[in-house]
Amino acid sequence: KNQVEQSPQSLIILEGKNCTLQCNYTVSPFSNLRWYKQDTGRGPVSLTIMTFSENTKSNGRYTATLDADTKQSSLHITASQLSDSASYICVVSAGTGNQFYFGTGTSLTVIP
């Protein structure tokens, strides 16, 4: 069964600290994996895309990793800011890239 699981479900950290969010998947055939950020009341926005051959990709303070063997991905946020407070959703696409499987998201709250 194609599934995407994320952990933790929620996280509270102090401003300036780092954090890492996890995503495990059992989607096959794997096409790519994206991390989306969803601010409260807004639609999700793509942060990074990871294809099968990529291990690490950075986008500013966000760094995503992918281990295709263990089917795990992580999103590391460095020097967190209050504006990082959002839900982070792991989305794995399968087949030709138009089938999407969603994790339930990690709710991150950054406090001063």
Partner 1 sequence: GAGVSQSPSNKVTEKGKDVELRCDPISGHTALYWYRQRLGQGLEFLIYFQGNSAPDKSGLPSDRFSAERTGESVSTLTIQRTQQEDSAVYLCASSGGRYTGELFFGEGSRLTVL
Binding site for partner 1 (CB under 8 A): 31-32, 34, 36, 41-46, 49, 89, 91, 93, 96-98, 100, 102-105
Least distance from partner 1 to the Cβ atom of residue 16, Å = 27
Least distance from partner 1 to the Cβ atom of residue 42, Å = 6
Our CB check for partner 1 shows the closer of 77 and 91 to be 91
Do 9 and 107 meet the contact criterion of CB atoms below 8 Å apart?
yes
Least distance from partner 1 to the Cβ atom of residue 44, Å = 5
Our CB check for partner 1 shows the closer of 78 and 93 to be 93
* Helical (H) or strand (E) element with 49: strand 45-51
Count the neighbouring beta carbons within 10 Å of the beta carbon of residue 4. 21
Least distance from partner 1 to the Cβ atom of residue 98, Å = 5
β-pairing, 86-94 vs 106-111, is antiparallel
- Nearest residue to 80 (alpha-carbon basis) of 101, 110, 103: 110
Write the DSSP symbol of residue 44. -
Our CB check for partner 1 shows the closer of 45 and 79 to be 45
Q: Given the structure tokens 């807004």, which residue do they identify?
A: 42
